[in-house]
Amino acid sequence: MAAGAHETSLGIDHRKLGMWTFLGSEFLFFGAFLATFLLYVQTTAGGPGVEIFDIPFTSISSFVLLMSSLTMVLAHNAHTQGDLRRMRMWILATAGQGAVFLGGQVFEFNVFVREGLTFGTSPFATSFYVLTGFHGAHVFIGILLLLTLYTFSLTGKVKPNQPLKTEMIGLYWHFVDIVWVVLFTVVYLIPELTVLD
Amino acid sequence: MSSTTATRPGRYQRPNPREGFISWITTTDHKRIGLMYFWTVLVFFFFGGVQSALIRTQLAQAEQSVLTEEIYNQVFTMHGITMVFLVVMPFAAAFFNYLIPLMIGARDVAFPRLNAFSYWVFLFAGIFLYSSFLLGGAPNGSWVGYAPLSTDAVSNMGFYAIGINALGISSLAASINFIVTILNMRAPGMTFMRMPVFIWMALVTSFLLLFAVPIISTALFMLMFDGVYGGQFFEPATGGDPILYQHLFWLFGHPEVYIMILPTMGIISETLPVFSRKPLFGYAAVVFAGAAIGFIGFGVWAHHMFTSAMGPVARSAFALATMFIAVPTGIKIFNWVFTMWGGKLRFTTSMLFSIGFVSMFTIGGLSGVTHAIVPHNAQQHDTYYVVAHFHYVLFGGALFGLIAGVYFWFPKVTGRLMNETLGKWHFWTWLLGFNLTFGPMHMSGLLGQPRRTAVLPAELGPTVELYNLLSGVGLIILFGSALVFLYNLLASTKKGELAGEDPWDARTLEWLTTSPPKAHNWDKIPTVTHRDEFWHRKYAEDEAGRPVAVPAGAAEDVGDPRGDNAEALDEHIHMPDASYWPFVMVLGLVPLMYGLNFASAPLIAIGLLWAIIGMYGWIIEPLAEGDDDDPLDAPNPSATTGAVTY
Amino acid sequence: MSATETPQQEAEHGHHPTARDYVNIAVILGILTALEVSTYFFEFGPLGVPMLIVLMVIKFLLVVGWFMHLRFDTKVFSRLMYTGLAFALVLYSITLAALYLDNFSAMT
Ligand code: HEM
Ligand SMILES: [Cu+2]
């Protein structure tokens, strides 16, 4: 059984096919938490509601995460050209931006808790923390993967002629990014327009 | 066989033991993993059986108190969890593992180490669930785990939320593995419409798992957060909606029932043609109906919630959709019947169980349609009538078919036949015991016996009491029958008549290779030119369309005169090496699961760290020689015949 | 594709995008995000929500199509992704509708 795509029935590499299969199922995972959040967006049990969001702050961290997708794809691009040095630089940039996003999320959670929105305050609070928290966990895993890729490209485990490895991690990273594209709009911006008025 | 590690001194090496305990811990061979699933399932089946015996003892007479209510609730909950998640589902996984590569002409699954990972997660999650008995009591909120009861500590449902979630990870990994294997590793010439129906059903099942598991996963996470960490998802006091849990559970739960039945439908679609000496009637219809069942199966979930808060529009829509789903199911039943029609039937044990499946499953399907009628449902819901329904589809259906599969493929796996006399004893007592146990439940349910109730109320009257007694007697027969099966299984492994390659005159590829198959399955990967490839290698058609045998020899995976491994030596067949890491990584799951359940940060941290370290071991471990990770191959890795060892 | 191609060659069929293309896409994504955030500062009346949804979908498609290469890759990947997405959208919409209708009939 060959790893090379040329020997498979569909002419696709197993690993990439497996990754896409997995990503397909992830939509149902995030979808359920998102639907739950929407159900409870006004169920605040007297505690804080969506007015607590700091849109300018979240906009910036969302922008950072969005741009990390650019550096990710540039890393892959460098790897396809066999340029591991540039690939590593972009990988570090991606991981760094991911870390900034995560840091922003931790900060945001802290502020919210201080303002009285704890995990058990209301269904709104729980569903918000669990939804964005699971996204944050995905970002965290992504950062781990990126750093692993970085290290292994130094030790020779990831070689210049193996851009597929960067591509796989990229697919995961971009997926996490598009989930945030949706969450940013549906969790922050739209309620800001509709619920508050 | 891979014989690679020895040639590379000084490098971190992969284990490659052939025998003994370590060889099982480290195995990545799909056949061995399939066998491990099988034996583990038998153990859990025994536990589930004991629990059913306790239930029947308690209900043998009205107003008994053999068990306390608390214990009774734990027992029926664990019975349901065990049978669904630790018996029927992994039983199907055993078949998938063993047979998919053999039936599509591959040498292993796409990701052998991930495959081992799935098994170990399954095993440890099962042990975790059972350890609850020693740690303050087993879950007692039923297999559906409705909130808000399940978020209350009194229900012990933390074990349920976390244990089932872990099993979900196992199923998800397995489903991705099987999807990639089936899509991507078919032998040359095996187009989609030449795949055996079993493979089709495995594919549909895997897709159902792929899309249903994440849903239950969210529901279980919510339960866990509410129950252990003070979340408010389902807490009515702050505005949480318990009905949300029911939706999420059944969004998974109905596809789940098809996850349990489709593998069996696949098995039956292989056994019936062989023992009728006819090709499957309406192959395309069976495949299409299977896919349709999978698809529509996602749109009927709320028929489990007709008596919960739901508006009339939703009720009508879901009732209609539910009745629709009986149509593809009916199509399949007709196809199986017409496969047998006019065939040269051979009533082997496997065939008997297959026919048993078709008839018992039909009964269960019919009572299912009666549930779909909303006013009826209000009458039947939460009575023993529903219990009768799902046992006819799950026991009379899924389990009968899986056992048919055991009798059918046993000779391939062991090289020996199971004893047919014992097999027939097994079948007839099983059929009798099954109907005696579950048939009366239709009546007692319609007479008002509630399910999930620890004490049989005397006011239901002597008739209902009699029905319950009959169920108890039926169960005793089933236990005896199971013993016959177990004895047959163990004895035949050692002393059974030698089977040879093709004892049934079968039709599909797996019968082409030796019994038991060699570790690398084939010396030479077969090229496929027909559906039912193996049959076409054995028989041609005369003018009247009757099969005539073609000259001997054409039909085998002809070995090389130089012996079994000759071709392996020529072509250098790469098999995935064994690995410690799936097992090691899954060990980290143990502290993680307990940590989550008891809200212990240190345990969670240890578990996560352990799993991450295990993951790194997994990544760093060298792949087999010839893989793109071998520095010798540079510069163009994809030009070599590497072995994937994920 | 023929039996001898490697994955790299395969990708090149579809005019593999260059680094320049990626930067352009990122610039567009940035502009779209700025537009999104502007709904917070300016009043768009009833147009606000539809606009946000449209912008979100465009951003989604850009990332998926270019950064994840769906435009250039085999159809199988698109099918897998959109099947998951469609299931999620349909199933959870129905669930939400059913739940809202309940709460509605409970109120009246
Ligand atoms: C002909 C197709 C089928 C129809 C129309 C159907 C319909 C139904 C309905 C409406 C219920 C809900 C009863 C109630 O609780 O009030 C139900 C329950 C159930 N069905 Fe089916 N069913 C069908 C086939 C199956 C199959 C193939 C399986 C499994 C292999 C299955 C397993 C179950 C289980 C486990 C339950 C009980 C769930 C619980 O409350 O614990 N059904 N069925
Ligand atoms: Cu159902």
In chain C, where are the structural domains located? 7-107
Domains and CATH numbers, chain B: 29-575 (1.20.210.10)
Sequence-distant contacts of C70-73: CB under 8 A, at least 24 apart: C71/C14, C72/C11, C72/C13, C72/C14, C72/C15, C72/C16, C72/C17, C73/C11, C73/C14
To the query of whether residue B451 is one of the catalytic residues in this protein, the response is: yes
Sign of CA dihedral B287, B292, B295, B297: negative
Decide if B388 contacts B462 (C-beta within 8 A): no
Q: Is B53 in the pocket of ligand 1 (CB under 6 A)?
A: no
Domain holding A23, by residue range, is 15-41+59-196
Q: Which two three-digit tokens encode residue B109?
A: 């699954």
Phi/psi of residue A65, each to 5°? -65, -40
To the query of whether residue B170 is one of the catalytic residues in this protein, the response is: yes
Q: At what angle do helices B112-131 and B30-59 cross, to 10 degrees?
A: 20
Is it the case that residue A102 has pLDDT exceeding 90? yes
| Element housing B549 (H / E) | strand B547-549
Q: Three-state SS for B548?
A: strand
A window 64-83, beta carbon within 8 A of C = 66-67, 69-70, 72-74, 77, 80
Provide the CATH number for the domain around residue A87. Answer: 1.20.120.80
Binned at pLDDT 50, 70 and 90, residue A11 comes out as confident
* Residue A153, CA distances (Å) to A145, B67, B437, B500, B626 in order: 12, 62, 63, 51, 20
Binned at pLDDT 50, 70 and 90, residue B556 comes out as low
Q: Check B14, B30, B303, B442 and give the catalytic one.
A: B303
CA distance A113 to A117: 5
Chain A: partners with 3+ C-beta pairs within 8 Å:
B, C
| Residue-wise pLDDT tens digits, C36-50 | 999 999 988 889 999
Token match 């209708």: residue?
A: C101
| Residue-wise pLDDT tens digits, B36-54 | 999 999 999 999 999 999 9
Q: Which two three-digit tokens encode residue A52?
A: 């607590």
B83, B85, B142, B304, best to mutate for ligand 1 pocket (most atoms within 8 Å of CB): B304
Q: Which two three-digit tokens encode residue B555?
A: 């039909």
**CB-nearest partner of B311 from C84, C91, C105:** C105
Decide if A6 contacts A14 (C-beta within 8 A): no
CA distance A155 to C58: 40
To the query of whether residue B304 is one of the catalytic residues in this protein, the response is: yes
B150, B316, B371, best to mutate for ligand 1 pocket (most atoms within 8 Å of CB): B371
Beta strands in chain A (DSSP E): none
CA distance A25 to C83: 9
Task: State the alpha helices, DSSP H only, in B447-580.
Answer: 462-495, 533-538, 566-571
This prediction has a pTM of 0.93
Q: Check B32, B315, B332, B538 and give the catalytic one.
A: B332
CA distance B159 to C88: 28
CA distance B268 to B262: 10
Residue of B nearest to A125 (CA): B232
ipTM: 0.95
Compute the CA torsion angle B430, B436, B438, B442 (nearest 10 deg). 150
pLDDT-wise least confident of A54-58, B136-140, B555-559: B555-559
First to last CA, chain B: 17
Task: Pick the more confident residue, B542 or B202.
Answer: B202
Decide if A8 is inside a domain. no
The CA angle A64-A60-A193, to the nearest 5 degrees, is 130
Q: Which two three-digit tokens encode residue B280?
A: 């499957």
Atom 35 of ligand 1: nearest residue by CA position:
B390
Is it the case that residue B76 has pLDDT exceeding 70? yes
Nearest ligand to the CA of B364 is: 1
pLDDT of residue B645: 34
Q: How do B539-541 and B547-549 pair as beta strands?
A: antiparallel
CA distance B535 to B557: 13
Is it the case that residue B633 has pLDDT exceeding 60? no
Decide if A53 is inside a domain. no
Token match 């940590």: residue?
A: B595
pLDDT of residue B631: 40
| Residue-wise pLDDT tens digits, B386-415 | 999 999 999 999 999 999 999 999 999 999
CA distance A172 to C68: 9
**CB contact (8 A) between residue C52 and residue A185:** yes
**CB contact (8 A) between residue B251 and residue C91:** yes
Decide if A49 is inside a domain. no
Atom 36 of ligand 1: nearest residue by CA position:
B390
CB pairs under 8 A between A and C: 146
Token match 């891979």: residue?
A: B2
Decide if A88 is inside a domain. yes
pLDDT of residue B437: 97
Q: Which two three-digit tokens encode residue B438?
A: 């579950």
Is it the case that residue B572 has pLDDT exceeding 50? yes
* Residue A24, CA distances (Å) to B297, C13, C85 in order: 18, 25, 7
Q: Is B574 in the pocket of ligand 1 (CB under 6 A)?
A: no
| Structural domains counted in chain A | 1
Binned at pLDDT 50, 70 and 90, residue C2 comes out as very low
Residue B361 C-alpha to ligand 2 middle, in angstroms? 15
CA distance B597 to B301: 29
pLDDT of residue C15: 65
Tell me, yes or no, if B213 comes closer than 8 A to chain C by beta carbon: no
Decide if A176 contacts A149 (C-beta within 8 A): no
Q: Is B478 in the pocket of ligand 1 (CB under 6 A)?
A: no
Token match 């290698």: residue?
A: B537
Is it the case that residue B16 has pLDDT exceeding 80? no
B389, B392, B442, best to mutate for ligand 1 pocket (most atoms within 8 Å of CB): B389
Burial B514-546 (b: 16+ CB within 10 A, else e): bbebbbbbbbebbebeebbbbbbbbbeeeeeee
* Residues on chain A touching B214 (C-beta within 8 angstroms): 25-26, 28-29, 32
CA distance A119 to B225: 10
| Residue-wise pLDDT tens digits, B202-256 | 999 999 999 999 999 999 999 999 999 999 999 999 999 999 999 999 999 999 9
Decide if A61 contacts A163 (C-beta within 8 A): no
Average pLDDT over residues B616-620: 88
CA distance A55 to A49: 14
The CA angle B253-B256-B259, to the nearest 5 degrees, is 170
- Among residues B481, B451, B483, the alpha carbon closest in space to that of B468 is found at B451
Tell me, yes or no, if A140 comes closer than 8 A to chain B by beta carbon: no
Encoded amino acid at C72, one letter: F
3-state SS string for B141-185: CCCCCCCCHHHCHHHCHHHHHHHHHHHHHHHHHHHHHHHHHHHHC
Residue B395 C-alpha to ligand 1 middle, in angstroms? 13
Q: Check B32, B98, B108, B437 and give the catalytic one.
A: B108
Phi/psi of residue B540, each to 5°? -110, 170
Is it the case that residue A164 has pLDDT exceeding 80? yes
Phi/psi of residue C14, each to 5°? -90, 40
Query: B104 Cβ partners below 8 Å, 6+ apart?
Result: B181, B182, B185, B186, B187, B190, B195, B199, B509
Q: Report whether the peptide linkage leading into residue B516 is cis, meaning its omega lies within 30 degrees of zero.
A: yes
* Residues on chain C touching B314 (C-beta within 8 angstroms): 98, 101
CA-only gyration radius of chain B, Å: 25
Q: Which two three-digit tokens encode residue B260?
A: 């349990």
Interface test with A, best of B176, B210, B596, B616 (most A CBs within 10 A): B176
Tell me, yes or no, if A120 comes closer than 8 A to chain B by beta carbon: yes
